[in-house]
Amino acid sequence: MNLSILEGKRGIIFGALDEKSIAWQVALAAQKAGAIFTLSNAPVAIRMGSIKQLATQCNTIVIPADATNTEDIKKVFTESIEYLGGKIDFILHAIGMSPNVRKHRPYTELDYEYFHKTLDISALSLHKILQIAWNLDALSSQASIVALTFIAAQRVFPGYGDMSDAKATLESIVRNFGYYYGKKNGTRINSVSQSPTPTTAGSGIDAFLRFYEYAQESSPLGNADAQSCADFCIVLFSDYTRMVTMQNLFHDGGFSQIGMTILPSE
């Protein structure tokens, strides 16, 4: 896409780790669409990943923040508003991590400390971002927020573990905060339910390859890649979708509507 549909808009992009990250592609697409934005990630991810390279490429700054820490998030907003010169028009929440999945714990044997962490990092972080922005009055009128999610919020994908519960909570926060923000100043909040995508978080799931291949074979358009997801996010940040809010939007090549698929020979 080569449209400058985000010209004049200021954003914050959470969750770019390396060039496989969906957030990385969103940053590149947002720059192409004329936006200015800051980047944020957890301090450890900044050290281990290559986000600084992305910041140089996008001529911006990286603001370290553990997305579970409210003081860190506050800093992201105050520094972003100062650096970008005004209130925030769009936010990408591309944050997810489950210690249970990382440690290969099956759903029937979850560690509850880990489970709390999964929910805090992958779902409550969205509520914290939205609540802090609310209290700071950090969002411009008709801002647009997008959070990334997965269809395991609605259907069972064995191996996705407690991330399924985190995504269901995330989508609920999108709906509920979407109501309050819509009433407050017209801010829109939507989630994008993306195809399995070979990123660090995606590939960290033991069953990832099976998810990927199953969805690839079932979807009439095949799996959506990170770049096309980024294009969709850009449209959602733009004024062209100004009446779309509180939705969970499937960006999955049609996978979510499939009952069964016919093989090419049939």
Ligand X SMILES: NC(=O)c1ccc[n+]([C@@H]2O[C@H](COP(=O)([O-])OP(=O)(O)OC[C@H]3O[C@@H](n4cnc5c(N)ncnc54)[C@H](O)[C@@H]3O)[C@@H](O)[C@H]2O)c1
Output the six-digit token pair for 114: 């880990």
Q: Which residue in 199, 219, 228, 238 binds ligand X (CB under 6 A)?
A: 199
Is the distance from CB of 64 to CB of 46 less than 8 angstroms?
yes
In this chain, which stretch among 16-24, 31-39, 54-62, 153-161 interacts with ligand X, using CB under 6 A? 16-24
Q: Is 68 in the site for ligand X (CB under 6 A)?
A: yes
- For 27, 28, 70, the CA distances from 54, given in Å and listed in that order, are 8, 8, 25
Give residue 120's identity as a one-letter amino acid code.
D
Among residues 211, 229, 218, the alpha carbon closest in space to that of 152 is found at 211
In this chain, which stretch among 30-38, 73-81, 94-102, 129-137 interacts with ligand X, using CB under 6 A? 94-102
- Closest residue to ligand X, judged by C-beta, is 202
Give residue 105's identity as a one-letter amino acid code.
R
Q: Which residue in 164, 194, 218, 245 binds ligand X (CB under 6 A)?
A: 194
Q: Is 22 in the site for ligand X (CB under 6 A)?
A: yes
Q: Which residue in 159, 161, 202, 253 binds ligand X (CB under 6 A)?
A: 202
The DSSP call for residue 124 is: I
Is the distance from CB of 157 to CB of 203 less than 8 angstroms?
no
Residues that bind ligand X in the complex, under the rule CB under 6 A: 15, 17, 21-23, 41-42, 45, 66-68, 94-97, 121, 148-150, 194, 196-197, 199-202
